Amino acid sequence: MIEVEGDKSTPISLTCPEDAVPFLRGQAKGGHARSQYNLECCYANGEGVIEDMDEVNKWFAMAWH
């Protein structure tokens, strides 16, 4: 299960990584640090996406900026 934040900071749990990744990507591109970190983890673990260390590094740098 991947935890993401929804409207008004209400936590939403998405059990299917394939559903969570597009939501996380949208939030991450908007500058949401927790979503950037969670997206980084998805790429590191191959959850909902193919493992990609370039994407891991990209989202890591953004999340911890």
Q: Where are the domains of the chain?
A: 2-63
Taking only the tens place, the pLDDT of each residue in 12-31 is: 566 678 888 898 899 999 99
Q: Report the distance separating Cα 65 and Cα 47, nearest Å.
A: 23
- Which residue bears the tokens 């493992």? 51
pLDDT average, residue stretch 5-17: 56
Tokens read off for 26: 């949208």
Write down the pTM of the prediction: 0.78
How sure is the predictor about 7, in pLDDT bands with cuts at 50, 70 and 90? Answer: very low
